[in-house]
A and B are shown apart, each in its own frame.
Chain A
Amino acid sequence: MSNVVLLVVGMTAVTYVPRLIPLMMSGRHRLGPWQRRTMSLVPITAVGALLVPGGLSAVDGRVDLSAIGIVAAVAITVTLRQPFLVVVGSVAAVALAITLGL
């Protein structure tokens, strides 16, 4: 099995099973408070870990260009709040910086 097929099959399985199990159970079940808090924190810690240090070498491995993109993304998220505009604006800011000779 190629790596790509393995990746897709594996990600599909580990995503689908947690969605499926509760719908197939009978009776009442509840998670403990620590488990619930861990699961609600994971998206936050995941994004934190993905951004540092990966986000700082996103454009050609260069910290300056990447930082311009991240700062632009934060500014647009705070003002416009539209994820699509955040992506477009951040890419545009980096493209502008490259065009201006950075």
Chain B
Amino acid sequence: MRPRADSLPRRDPVGIGLAILFGYFSIAVAFGVSGRSIGLPAVTVASLSVFVFAGASQFMAVSMLAQGAGVFSIILATLVLNSRHLVMSLALRNRITGHRVPRPLLAFGVTDEVFGANATVPGDIPDTDLLVTEALAYAGWVGGSVAGYVAGGFLPRVIERSMGIALYAMFVALIVPPIRRFPRYAVPAVAAGVTNWALQEAGLPVGIALLASISATASIFALAPRWSEP
């Protein structure tokens, strides 16, 4: 039976954008609070969200700073983590239509969620629609980060002490859902953790150990489709 035309997913850039806005806002609050909890100044937390606009790598940067990693290893690790957006931009490229929005502006907003929301709806994507979705997502991310930083100043001492776990709780929230859906992903995840731990025990600086364990385990497990495809 063919689905009726009106039951097909419809393109709704504002609806998609608002959904992402609320999701991003709450996660960004956690980012703002944890940035403050490790002692970063407001301008650093805000500029990471304003200029980088890539949630997972911003959490990673804060965590690496807290663990004492150097600036260059954080930048390299960010490159490794965010190179996946190459695949997403590539997939969107042939579907974007219209010439009203400069491509470099559209490129800035290609996040996992913006891509995911557009990938699940078939058909062309007018460039103005994509920009609307991206702008709403951006507003949620930047607004939430600032709100989180400000809110972090009103927390009681015991909560402030406990905030160190916030980042890692966030990582748990990121990694558990894909592993529950595809349990085999647990193997490369655990392998990366064990490798990182072993490299740090062997005396490697934190940043280098993270970088090496993340890229080595991903590229090795990618050799075997069995472990690297859902």
A interface residues with partner B (beta carbon < 8 Å): 3-4, 6-12, 14-16, 18-25, 28-31, 33-34, 36-55, 58-60, 65-66, 69-70, 72-74, 77-78, 81-84, 86-87, 89-92, 94-95, 98-99
What is the bound-complex CA distance between A30 and B52, given in angstroms?
26
Interface 9-mer from B6-14, B118-126, B135-143, B188-196 = B188-196
Give the residues in chain A near B174, CB-CB below 8 Å: 43, 47, 83
If A16-B107, A73-B169, A78-B180 touch, whether A48 touches B228 (CB-CB below 8 Å) is: no
Instruction: Report 6 cross-chain contacts, Cβ distance below 8 Å, ordered by A residue.
Output: A15-B57, A34-B219, A39-B84, A46-B80, A48-B192, A51-B172
If A22-B89, A98-B158 touch, whether A69 touches B165 (CB-CB below 8 Å) is: yes
Docked-complex contact B56 and A11, CB < 8 angstroms:
no
Docked-complex contact B83 and A90, CB < 8 angstroms:
no
Docked-complex contact A55 and B48, CB < 8 angstroms:
no
Q: Does B30 contact A (CB under 8 A)?
A: yes
Give the residues in chain B near A42, CB-CB below 8 Å: 80-81, 83-84, 214-215, 218
How many residues of B are counted as interface, with CB atoms below 8 angstroms from the partner's CB atoms?
98
Closest to B93 in A: A22
Q: Would you call the interface of chain B mostly helix, strand, loop, or mixed?
A: helix
How many residue pairs link A and B with beta carbons under 8 A? The number is 288
Docked-complex contact B89 and A20, CB < 8 angstroms:
yes
Docked-complex contact B26 and A83, CB < 8 angstroms:
yes
If A18-B86, A22-B93, A40-B228 touch, whether A11 touches B165 (CB-CB below 8 Å) is: no
Give the residues in chain B near A10, CB-CB below 8 Å: 71-72, 74-75, 78
Q: Would you call the interface of chain A mostly helix, strand, loop, or mixed?
A: helix
Contact of B196 among A18, A19, A30, A53 (CB under 8 A): A53
Q: Mark B50-64, 1 if CB is under 8 A from A, else 0.
A: 011110111011010
Docked-complex contact A36 and B87, CB < 8 angstroms:
yes
Q: Mark B170-199, 1 if CB is under 8 A from A, else 0.
A: 111111111110000100111111111100
What is the bound-complex CA distance between A84 and B82, given in angstroms?
23
CB distance from A94 to the nearest CB of B (A): 4
Docked-complex contact A91 and B222, CB < 8 angstroms:
no
Docked-complex contact B83 and A18, CB < 8 angstroms:
yes
Docked-complex contact B107 and A19, CB < 8 angstroms:
yes
What is the bound-complex CA distance between A77 and B180, given in angstroms?
11
Give the residues in chain B near A53, CB-CB below 8 Å: 193, 196-197, 200
What is the bound-complex CA distance between A92 and B168, given in angstroms?
14
Give the residues in chain A near B225, CB-CB below 8 Å: 33, 37
CB distance from A18 to the nearest CB of B (A): 4
What is the bound-complex CA distance between A21 and B108, given in angstroms?
11
CB distance from B197 to the nearest CB of A (A): 5
Docked-complex contact A37 and B229, CB < 8 angstroms:
yes
What is the bound-complex CA distance between A29 and B93, given in angstroms?
10
Contact of A51 among B27, B48, B171 (CB under 8 A): B171
Ordered nearest first, which 7 A-B pairs have the shortest CB separation? A52-B193, A69-B165, A90-B169, A48-B189, A84-B26, A45-B192, A10-B75
Centre residue among B23, B71, B76, B213 by max chain A CB count within 10 A: B71
